Structure 1
């Protein structure tokens, strides 16, 4: 049956599997999808994977409440078993299995390529993968990653009031999300993420774009900003109105000191991303930065995960960034000469 954007979806999924995940005949490809989302993308992935000679399965299951470890009580045992026994696991879940105990095992087993595309429907996956020039995007992300690796001290601000400084740890990886061909944790392209030295993170993070923590904390696009006061990598105070109060109460309800610890910071650099309330896409809005608190994956430290009950992501829009006092981003626009030229090629 002909469907709207059906051809675009097929081409996008082919690019995802063949060019980015580099699947091989005989490999197993598992797609997980909770019942709240549109299953069309998952169906297309398993069909194209099968056509490419893979052994493909779609695991469509009931929707958990919350993210990470909070999902475990809602998942069937067969699902828990199969995610660590596959070559490629593509997660389309609205309520993320990301940062759960089974995710930790999958991304550290030396076999599974876990690709987190949570909540992406047809239009979102097309504009953020299918419609992106992968070659130019990879050049942009590689340059931005390398510049960041070379920086010891960083500062991020925005017009909403963010002003946060920190030091990078040269021994920790910086993850540029675009190549899904190796075992481990992978995310939608258009993001570069890393974990600074937690004890050096000090200042104010104003979340004025979107915020999500799963379940009751899926706030989506914000009607008012939420401010974190951060000292030595830990949230010590929440400021703002009713939404800030709701976030504060949620953190308190989990009764987990690790929830207040910074897990990562990320650049948003997807040329087509829109702020619409889907965190996977929201985090990649061009010129934004995003901070995660709570569970910290091994992909950010290069070692063991730091366990927490869940994970909360908040997005700051139109940021300015300094690398060792050299400004590369100004109110959401890249001003570094080479980055600026590549941005133009991407339509930014």
Structure 2
């Protein structure tokens, strides 16, 4: 086993601090044949050591994710186990997230705490779960979320060309995955604040210079989007990837695939750009933009009914909320927030 002590510390942080597992609670850990079993075993040990009751469910790795994997999954046993769990930690490589098992169990079990840690090998677990002080990161991120959601206008720039502004929409989702998953609901890997702006107000240039998934992954050169009222009007760049991305958007024959969906702040101290979008969108000081589909619950009443969705990373972001600067090329400059990190 690699990183034995460091990995166990990260697993203990996950189960005891982030999930808040209590004696007697059931902790279901789902995984598949592509998962890092060292991570799974360390997480089960952490649950057992705090008096909880760990259950490991391993399935075969499916060809697709979400509902695309339904035919390959033992749905009824999964739904039965998850519908009775106090905590569900998903560590699958082929995602159960958005599958029928996920959908039915989360609807049936309103008291469950779910966290999405898909595609998380030991080194990422150590960096992204055990590599920071949860007690410090949680209030810091909640303060940024509050500051943003209390504002009206946000402006974002990057050294490679992003210069975009938009208005906050209070009726839309503001989700702060700060490392506090102790209350029932859906939680994601710590280190991201996700919100859905007022789409009509998104105007300017958005430059992806990290990764763009799907369809490209790591970028050879920046790709620039010209956006007017939340709609992509032009895709440019010096590499062939720019035209590949433009063609990919057009291949759906769906105008909603040219709509900006959501924006995120990346704030996980241990994340690094690696080609895995779950980690990439949490790189400290980046912003991430989603394009295409948005769930109606995230942006009531209708969301965006697009045929697919993709996410792109803008590194070293500078952010202003109502003219007050929060980040400067990825570094925290807001006085109150800086003090919280010291």
Deviation readout 1:5-52 (Å, 9 max, x if unpaired): 112212211211121111234433333334344232123223433443
Written as runs of structure 1 = structure 2, the 5 A alignment for 1:1-348 is 3-51=1-49, 52-65=51-64, 67-72=65-70, 74-78=72-76, 81-82=79-80, 85=83, 86-100=85-99, 102-109=101-108, 110-177=110-177, 178-213=179-214, 217=215, 219-240=216-237, 241-297=239-295, 300-301=298-299, 308-343=306-341, 345=342
Aligned partners of 1:233 and 1:69: how far apart in 2? 29
Deviating more after overlay: 131-140 vs 298-307: 298-307
Structure 1 runs of 4+ aligned residues shifted over 6 Å read 302-305
Aligned partners of 1:147 and 1:13: how far apart in 2? 31
Q: How many Å apart are 1:120 and its aligned residue? A: 1.4
Structure 1 residues 76 and 108, CA, compared in 2 at 3 Å: closer, same or farther?
A: closer
Cα pair 2:31 2:56 within 8 Å, conserved? no
Aligned partners of 1:101 and 1:237: how far apart in 2? 37
Cα pair 1:211 1:220 within 8 Å, conserved? yes
Corresponding pairs, count: 337
Cα pair 2:28 2:82 within 8 Å, conserved? no
TM-score relative to the length of structure 2: 0.86
Deviating more after overlay: 17-26 vs 126-135: 17-26
Q: How many Å apart are 1:82 and its aligned residue? A: 4.8
SS in structure 2 opposite 1:130?
coil
Deviating more after overlay: 27-36 vs 126-135: 27-36
Higher relative contact order (CA 8 A, sep 6+): 1
Q: How many Å apart are 1:227 and its aligned residue? A: 2.5
Deviation readout 1:100-124 (Å, 9 max, x if unpaired): 5554555555233221112211111
Query: What is the root-mean-square deviation of aligned Cα atoms in Å?
Result: 2.7
Structure 1 residues 182 and 107, CA, compared in 2 at 3 Å: closer, same or farther?
A: farther
Cα pair 1:46 1:58 within 8 Å, conserved? no
